[in-house]
Amino acid sequence: MVKQNSLLVLLLLSLMLTVSAATKATPPTRKQWLAYLDKVARPVMQNIAENQLKANMPVVTSGTIDNKAQRTKVAYLEAFGRTLCGIAPWLQLEGGNLNEVKMRDQYRRWALQGIANAANPAAKDYLEWKGGQPLVDASFVALALMRAPWLWEHLDKSVQQQVETALKITRNTVPVYSNWILFSGAIEAFFDKYDLGYDPVRVEFAVREFTQHWYVGDGLYADGMDFHLDYYNSIVIHPNLNAILDEVNQKHKTYDKERKNALQISQRYAQTLERMINTDGSYPATGRSIVYRGGVFHHLADMAYKKQLPKSISPAQVRGALTAVIKKTLEAPNTFNKAGWLNIGLYGAQPSLAEFYITTGSLYICTDIFMPLGLPETDEFWSAPSAPWTSVKIWSGQDVPADHALELKK
């Protein structure tokens, strides 16, 4: 009996040590996310801060590129604007453990200097602000500065003026009659936020077209006159439309009804996106711009960050789902080149997946998946116990409520 008890104690001790070792061997999810963010963002942010982005970033273009010379010139603004947009909520956050604070302080310094270089015509890394594609990526800079007022407030007055000048160059570009009108609208929302003289007509145009003419039902908008079965509702439409409504309506109270409807629509689409994430973090590779990787879940990340998820999906299950996507898309072999820059692809290097407008810079929109890092580690998103997301529940045999379309009351 004594021997049996001794063996039982030894077994229990062994099990406890194994569990303890496994716990120590597995870093917290937030720590994992920060490591992934750093791997993606560091080459862009450090190089532009050092005025070396154009010198060091390799620009690979799609094999079907329509204007290689111009696309190459804009690729640097793509990389910087998209990276800054995704990490902005985290840059806005205060506090955290010492390692995270140290890392954030470094990125803040890089961001401030990077913005200064990007908008300074005398800098080596002065970026391309004139033309069609620059309108798109200037809007990511504007969105980043709305998401992180800390950045705007800590820029020198002279740099603020140069940023304003750079963004106003985009007013010379007439947006394509599609999701592009939201890029113009987002830039104007930035001007409005910081009292720089905004154009309400560009905002009105974007808001009215999407809310009155292009909503097609069940959480989805058409991309202009036609509906496209792709992820642009998540990549661009919902996040930009919501940002415009939030910023402009807060000041002028002009879009109360549109904002309320948009919230219902956004919550429904967040449900849909969460259900599209498979048990292994993969998702349907359908539609254009699939090489944006985790950027196709921009909207879901945005809703989690703003604490506006529908009651049907918990923050913990969204954390699990997005973590699975991050691992799936960033751990694949050949996702990064030897120098640490992203390769074109969804699962590794897959250049044939790129449309005619894709360059290396385009890929950095994947940082938008990291938006929930703008929530403190004490927030439910990070502190709640792990929870299975919808696909895991269903494909493990759990009984879950049926999915239902949104019937928006008019």
Q: In the chain, what are the domains?
A: 27-395 (1.50.10)
Residue 409, pLDDT score? 75
Q: Which two three-digit tokens encode residue 29?
A: 């999810």
d(CA 310, CA 363): 29
Mean pLDDT of 83-90: 98
Mean pLDDT of 186-205: 98
Closest CA to 124 of 71, 48, 45: 48
Mean pLDDT of 240-267: 96
For residue range 182-194, list pLDDT tens digits in order.
999 999 999 999 9
Answer yes or no: is pLDDT of 19 > 70: no
As a 3-state breakdown, the chain gives helix, strand, coil percent values, each rounded to 5, of: 65, 5, 35
Q: Tokens 């810079």 identify what position?
A: 361
pTM of the model: 0.93
| Per-residue pLDDT band at 20 (split at 50, 70, 90) | very low
Answer yes or no: is pLDDT of 388 > 80: yes
d(CA 90, CA 196): 25
Residue 408, pLDDT score? 86
User: CB–CB of 185/244 below 8 Å?
Assistant: yes
If one counts every other C-beta atom within 10 angstroms of the C-beta of residue 22, the result is: 9
**Cβ neighbourhood burial of 283 (10 Å; 0-12, 13-18, 19+):** buried
Mean pLDDT score of the chain: 94
If one counts every other C-beta atom within 10 angstroms of the C-beta of residue 292, the result is: 25
Answer yes or no: is pLDDT of 407 > 70: yes
Q: Which helix (H) or strand (E) holds 106?
A: helix 98-119
**Residue type present at position 278:** N
E strand segments, 130-274: 215-217, 220-221
User: CB–CB of 363/293 below 8 Å?
Assistant: yes
| Per-residue pLDDT band at 8 (split at 50, 70, 90) | very low
What number of CA atoms fall less than 13 Å from residue 174's CA on the CB side? 1
Mean pLDDT of 337-351: 98
| Per-residue pLDDT band at 410 (split at 50, 70, 90) | low
For residue range 354-385, list pLDDT tens digits in order.
999 999 999 999 999 999 999 999 999 999 99
**Cβ neighbourhood burial of 243 (10 Å; 0-12, 13-18, 19+):** buried
Work out the end-to-end distance of the chain between its first and last CA atoms, rounded to an integer number of angstroms: 75
Tell me if residue 226 falls in helix, strand or coil: strand
d(CA 291, CA 363): 7
For residue range 125-177, list pLDDT tens digits in order.
999 999 999 999 999 999 999 999 999 999 999 999 999 999 999 999 999 99
d(CA 340, CA 140): 23
d(CA 121, CA 408): 48
Residue 28, pLDDT score? 67
Tell me if residue 227 falls in helix, strand or coil: coil
For residue range 22-68, list pLDDT tens digits in order.
333 344 699 999 999 999 999 999 999 999 999 999 999 999 999 99
